[in-house]
Amino acid sequence: MAASTQPIVLLDKVRKAYRMGEFTVEALRGLDLHIAPGEYLSIMGPSGCGKSTLLNVLGCLDRPTSGRYLLGGDDVSTIPDDDLSSIRGKRLGFVFQSYNLIPQLTVLENIEVPLFYQNTPEDEARTIATELASRVGLGHRLNHRPFELSGGQQQRVAIARALANNPLVLLADEATGNLDSASGREILSLFDDLHSQGKTLIMVTHDLGVGERAARLIRLRDGELESDTRR
């Protein structure tokens, strides 16, 4: 089982600097992080600590200014934009605070979007999307539009969409931030299920109650690792 000991996410002295006029703001200051496959990790910290930047780097939406980022064993910190796109599509799944479903598409079509960009044949994509929709409990809402669904339901569609390409890592950014507590608990228990099925989850939150559900909790302060606790 050599593969399981190899980290699925490896950050090696990752720095990220933003240029704001004449100032340079260092959002990440040489971060080292190892995440093993199947881990359930939450990232916490006060606003401005670099949580979002870290998530953007982890999500391959942004490249680190320096340092290395290995995702699934491949260095993705310097690859071209097109390759970064396909890495996002194949190895990562995003769950956003505001769900970010495409309003003109149905539930099924929203789940199919990542499959479309990976050239999955149409009928196969339909099968996968239908299966995922029922897995998140929306098998009866396949042809509804996002605005016809509740927040919790929309977030479940987003989770199904994030799982479409069977990604290595699931990234959740304040996934329960816009939800009432009941819906939030449903989403969190969905995450627990996914974790128990062996998915690697990374969750950014400022809610301690949410953060402590994860097996490992990381605190960031001023772009540096403050604490890293495992339960």
Partner 1 sequence: MIPLPSFSSRFRRTVQLGIRSLWLHRLRSLLTVLGIVFGVCSVIAMLAIGEGASYEAQQQIKNLGSQNILLKSVKPAEEEKVSNRQQNNFALEYGLKQDDIRRIRDTIPGIELVVPARVIRDYVWNITHRVDAEIVGTLPNHPATRNQSVAQGRFFNDLEMDAASPVCVLGHDVALKLFPAEEALGRDVRVGLNYYRVIGIMEPRARSAASEASIDGPAANAALGRLYIPLETARRRFGEILSRRRGGTYEAEKVALHEITVRVSRPETVIAISEVVKDILARHHTRKDYEVVVPLELLRRAERTKQIFNLVLGSIAAISLLVGGIGIMNIMLANVTERTREIGIRRALGARRKDIITQFLVESVLLSGSGGLIGVALGIAIPFAVSALAHMKVIITPWSPIAAFTLSAMVGILFGIYPARRAAALDPVEALRHE
Q: How far is the CB of 96 from partner 1 (least distance, A)?
A: 7
Distance CA 48, CA 19 (A): 15
Query: C-alpha angle with apex 87: 83 to 93, nearest 5 degrees?
Result: 150
Q: Of 8 and 92, which CB lies nearer to partner 1 in the complex structure?
A: 92
Task: Give whichever of 159 and 217 is closer to partner 1, judged by the CB atom.
Answer: 159
Closest distance between partner 1 and the C-beta of residue 3, in Å? Answer: 24
User: Rounded distance, CA 173 to CA 113, Å?
Assistant: 19
Residues lying near partner 1 in the complex (CB under 8 A) are found at 56, 59, 61-62, 81-82, 85-86, 88-90, 94, 96, 100-102, 104, 113-114, 116-119, 121-122, 161, 165
Q: Which is nearer to partner 1, 21 or 121 (CB)?
A: 121
For residue 212, report the phi and psi dihedrals to the nearest 5 degrees. Answer: -80, -10
- For residues 57 and 218, which CB has a smaller minimum distance to partner 1 in the complex? 57
Residue number with CB closer to partner 1 (50 or 213): 50
112: helix, coil or strand?
helix
Q: Are 222 and 62 in contact (CB under 8 A)?
A: no
Minimum gap (Å) between residue 118 Cβ and partner 1 = 6
- For residue 19, CA distances in Å to 27, 124, 133, 167 come to 10, 45, 42, 32
Q: How far is the CB of 1 from partner 1 (least distance, A)?
A: 30
Which CB, 96 or 216, lies closer to partner 1?
96
d(CA 44, CA 15): 18
β partners of residue 28: 16
Q: How far is the CB of 60 from partner 1 (least distance, A)?
A: 9
Smallest separation, CB 52 to partner 1 (Å): 9
Pairing of strands 200-204, 40-44: parallel
